[in-house]
Chains A and B, each alone.
Chain A
Amino acid sequence: MAANNRLKRLNTGRDFIADNYQTPLSLSDIAKCSYMSPYHFLRVFKDTYGETPNEFLTRLRLQQAKKMLITENYSISEVCEKVGYSSLGSFSSLFLKRVGVAPTVYRRKLWALSSEAYCFPAQTIPACFAYKFLGKLAN
């Protein structure tokens, strides 16, 4: 029973991150949602989900950034701001480090591959699904 309640409280903290990733978030603010001390929250969050709250937040922000870069016409600075980063330099280097290319290159490359504006190309989903649902084989 205790484990179930702990998981519920943790999920509340996780949902708080997911709902507020666009704003600056501190560990203590997030931990408060789960009624835990920051240190305890950090430890059990990592144990439960396999990543720290900050790693989860970063993954979420980059995921949203990738989506915005492809499906919206925002500038890189606007995307950076909309996903919760205040420094364009930090955002760009983090994006490059995690995704492997700079945000501008990512957008240019994927837009060039897609046959439709503001859509992800078929190559971004597993080939078996792209083939079955879209009739496309990776080039």
Chain B
Amino acid sequence: MITSIAHSTIYVLNQEEALDFYKNKLGFEVGDDMKVEGDFRWLTVHPKSNSQLQLVLAEPKEGPMFTKDSAEKIRSLISEGAFGAGVFETENCQKTYQELVAKGVEFMQPPTEQLYGVEAMGVDNSGNWFSLVQRK
């Protein structure tokens, strides 16, 4: 029986810039930041109050996973906003939204009543969309 999800990947255009966004704008904490053989940086972040799910901030680069062409296509799709980073939960959507806007985070949709709660939709500095949800 699978009991939880430990890691999930968010493809970003630049790890350092993504780290700045997730740490200094969203207020996440660094889980791992390790230099791994093969010139690979293993970088994970998580909300301070939940370290069980680590978000892996990875750059699509030419290598075993992607050809040069595929990596470029993925990077282009990220910039176009084709991918989502996921749903981030908050206790107060309106307040968190205001705090994030003040820090320069871009939102496509302000806090809006939905069937499941209050939700705002933002975008990270790579182009990945995310929902900010206050559950009912």
Residues of A within 8 A of B (CB): 1, 3-4, 7, 11, 14, 18, 48-49, 63, 67, 70-71, 114-116, 118-122, 124-126, 129, 131-136
Tell me the complex Cα distance, A113–B71, Å: 28
Residues of B within 8 A of A (CB): 6-7, 9, 27, 29, 32-38, 40, 42, 48-49, 51, 56, 58, 63-65, 91-92, 95-96
- Kindly provide the distance from the CB of A81 to the nearest chain B CB, expressed in whole angstroms: 21
Tell me if A133 and B34 are in contact (CB < 8 A).
no
A-B contact list, 23 entries, CB within 8 Å: A4-B96, A7-B49, A7-B91, A18-B29, A49-B49, A63-B32, A70-B34, A118-B35, A119-B35, A120-B36, A121-B37, A125-B34, A125-B36, A125-B42, A126-B6, A129-B42, A133-B38, A133-B40, A133-B58, A133-B63, A134-B37, A134-B40, A134-B64
Q: A14-B48, A135-B64 are in contact. Are A122 and B38 (CB under 8 A)?
A: yes
Tell me if A122 and B36 are in contact (CB < 8 A).
yes
Tell me the complex Cα distance, A121–B40, Å: 10
Option from B35, B56, B58, B95 in Cβ contact (under 8 Å) with A120: B35
